[in-house]
Amino acid sequence: MTRNELHNQRLANEAKEKQLQQFTRRHFLKESAMGFGALALGSLITGCGTGSGNASSQLFDPAHPLAPRMPFFPGKAKSVIYLHMAGAPSQLELFDYKPELAKLNGQDCPPSLLEGKKFAFIRGVPKMLGPQANFKQHGQSGLWVSDYLPHFSSIVDDVSIIKSVTTDQFNHAPAQLLMHTGSARLGRPSMGSWVTYGLGTENQNLPGFVVLTSGGNNPDAGKSVWGSGFLPSVYQGVQCRSEGDPVLFINDPEGMGRDLRKASIDAINKVNQEQYKEFNDPETLSRISQYEMAYKMQISVPEVMNINDEPAYIHEMYGTQPGKASFANNVLLARKLVEKGVRFVQLFDWGWDTHGTSADGAIDIGLINKCREVDKSMTALILDLKQRGLLEETLVVWGGEFGRTPMQENRDGKEMPFKGRDHHAEAFTMWMAGGGIKGGTTYGETDEIGYSIAKGKVEAFDLQATILNQLGFDHEKFTYEFQGRPFRLTDVAGKVITDIIA
């Protein structure tokens, strides 16, 4: 066989293989029997004609995936700033005042608190551990806050403290996933992705969902807590940095000017357009949108992520240090981002895991230091939003993934070198402010030692339902079709906490 014949045979084989690829089951069903097979398959994919199959198609425009959209009903909030303290801060040293627990300090833990319970590290019979902080009532509302948060205590009349949050996860990664995606397993979209999918963004030159991290590490669940899961990838969180380039690879490579980069993106998108015409895959249009967004971000992101031009009183107010990576810098950036129209800003601050294995992990040393890092800036955020007229339309959420035990951790049954508390899934505290939330209020109660919920139990799904409600969404109807059924952030649970809504 000659070289030309071999070449022609190779081309024929490639063409045959390409042709066979087109004859998938879906293609066969579409082309046969006047398309009735495709209609049957389509009904299975969209939920067997349940009537909810159009929910995602009404919201998702693949050509303009981030275009601003109206919610189901007028929401009181337009954007969210979620401050997550990764590692789980101790509610017993911050918000949940338990004088009865102080009386039990140093005593053996009662068997009733241990029987049938699972703990991450506690073994045997631990000692009870009283609160290490001093508590006082503050503001006109008289809410209890510890001396670990002196700045925050001045704004209690603007916040609603939820003392009865619970979870069924006692390890960090699954608990963080549950809190932010509605599932303890990987694969679900994050809350920020759901919000951006539903509302789009008011600024087409910036991402709708921005993530900022501090504390030296990402959360234990990794980047899945800001992933888009089965939603189109355009809705995943964009991680920015408070030092160096705000987004990796945002600058043009050496020797490539902005015009050349634009020409490259145009060429890539031309290929993507041809691919879309051939396969009609909406994800291809999302990819085109992402390339165009990346180009716009080259100008917009460095400008909005620059805090150097903020006045001196703002830097003093937040405790910021331009050029350094810090929680304070990220909080100020969060305010700037929502001011520019970003829908959802997620802050993760690592280092709140206080087991007592070291000074940094002690509730009377390390926890105090962590509080000093966040107290001033998170207080400044509420005051700054308020003075700019943005607090009523910006929902601020603060909390961890679970709480800490009323007993002292005794890892492997041994006394720890420092005072610490183990993971506690049954009860912890979070707070919300702005976005139509009733200030100066508390919701729910724990028992006299802070071990179990006594009143007003709140699950992660309830928090998610409340956040979506403030943005204008009925969490039960806000769905996306995937694998033959409509999925939602709150899965099959959740109720709005109406008592904290103004």
Cβ(454)–Cβ(98) below 8 Å: no
Q: Is a pLDDT exceeding 60 seen at residue 61?
A: yes
Cβ(94)–Cβ(409) below 8 Å: no
pLDDT, the chain, mean: 88
Dist CA 405 CA 117 (whole Å)? 12
What is the chain's alpha carbon radius of gyration, rounded to the nearest angstrom?
A: 26
Question: Which residue would you say has higher pLDDT here, 40 or 150?
Answer: 150
**Whose structure tokens read 């900022």?**
212
Q: What is the dihedral of CA 72, 74, 78, 84, to 10 degrees?
A: -70
SS3 (DSSP) at 199: helix
Edge-to-edge strands, sheet with 394-399: 238-240, 209-214, 344-350, 79-86, 394-399, 428-433, 159-165, 441-443
Q: What is the pLDDT of residues 72-124, one digit of tens each?
A: 999 999 999 999 999 999 999 999 999 999 999 999 999 999 999 989 999 99
Q: What does residue 296 show for φ and ψ, rounded to 5 degrees?
A: -65, -35
Six-digit token string for 479: 């769905």
Dist CA 424 CA 99 (whole Å)? 19
3-state secondary structure 27-42: HHHHHCHHHHHHHHHH
What confidence score (pLDDT) does residue 205 get?
Answer: 87
Measured from the Cβ of residue 112, the count of other Cβ atoms closer than 10 Å reads 9
What confidence score (pLDDT) does residue 176 get?
Answer: 98
488 CB-near residues (< 8 Å, 6+ apart): 182, 475, 476, 478, 479, 480
First to last CA, the chain: 84
pTM strictly above 0.75: yes
CATH number of 79-242+308-426: 3.40.720
CA distances from 359 to 119, 350, 355, 413, 416 (A): 22, 16, 10, 20, 11
Measured from the Cβ of residue 198, the count of other Cβ atoms closer than 10 Å reads 23
What confidence score (pLDDT) does residue 360 get?
Answer: 96
What confidence score (pLDDT) does residue 11 get?
Answer: 55
Average pLDDT over every residue of 430-448: 98
Dist CA 151 CA 149 (whole Å)? 6
Q: Quick one: pLDDT band at residue 50, thresholds 50, 70, 90?
A: very low
Average pLDDT over every residue of 439-457: 98
Dist CA 259 CA 27 (whole Å)? 41
**Which ranges of 3-109 would DSSP assign to H, the alpha helix?**
3-22, 25-31, 36-45, 55-59, 99-103
Six-digit token string for 276: 């879309």
Percent of the chain predicted with pLDDT > 90: 69
Question: Which residue would you say has higher pLDDT here, 293 or 20?
Answer: 293
Dist CA 34 CA 131 (whole Å)? 73
Dist CA 134 CA 146 (whole Å)? 5
Six-digit token string for 69: 């959209």
Sequence spans of domains, the chain: 79-242+308-426, 247-306
Average pLDDT over every residue of 291-297: 67
Q: Is a pLDDT exceeding 50 seen at residue 180?
A: yes
Which range has the worst mean pLDDT, 7-21, 278-292, 427-441? 7-21
Dist CA 351 CA 370 (whole Å)? 8
b/e string for 46-85 if b means 16 or more Cβ within 10 A?
bbeeeebbebbeebbbbeebbeeeebeeebbbbbbbbbbb
Q: What does residue 411 show for φ and ψ, rounded to 5 degrees?
A: -55, 130
What confidence score (pLDDT) does residue 273 get?
Answer: 80
Percent of the chain predicted with pLDDT > 70: 83
Of 3, 93, 53, the C-alpha closest to 428 is 93
Average pLDDT over every residue of 441-445: 98
Q: Is a pLDDT exceeding 60 seen at residue 40?
A: no
Average pLDDT over every residue of 436-447: 98
Dist CA 54 CA 51 (whole Å)? 7
Q: Is a pLDDT exceeding 50 seen at residue 53?
A: no
Q: What is the pLDDT of residues 327-367, one digit of tens each?
A: 999 999 999 999 999 999 999 999 999 999 999 999 999 99
Which range has the worst mean pLDDT, 10-24, 283-297, 468-482? 10-24
Dist CA 370 CA 364 (whole Å)? 11
What confidence score (pLDDT) does residue 45 get?
Answer: 44
State how beta strands 238-240 and 209-214 pair. parallel
CA distances from 71 to 43, 165, 191, 474 (A): 26, 27, 15, 9
Q: Quick one: pLDDT band at residue 162, thresholds 50, 70, 90?
A: very high
Q: What is the dihedral of CA 177, 182, 183, 186, to 10 degrees?
A: -60
Q: Is a pLDDT exceeding 60 seen at residue 386?
A: yes
Which range has the worst mean pLDDT, 8-12, 86-90, 193-197, 388-392? 8-12
Dist CA 221 CA 490 (whole Å)? 19
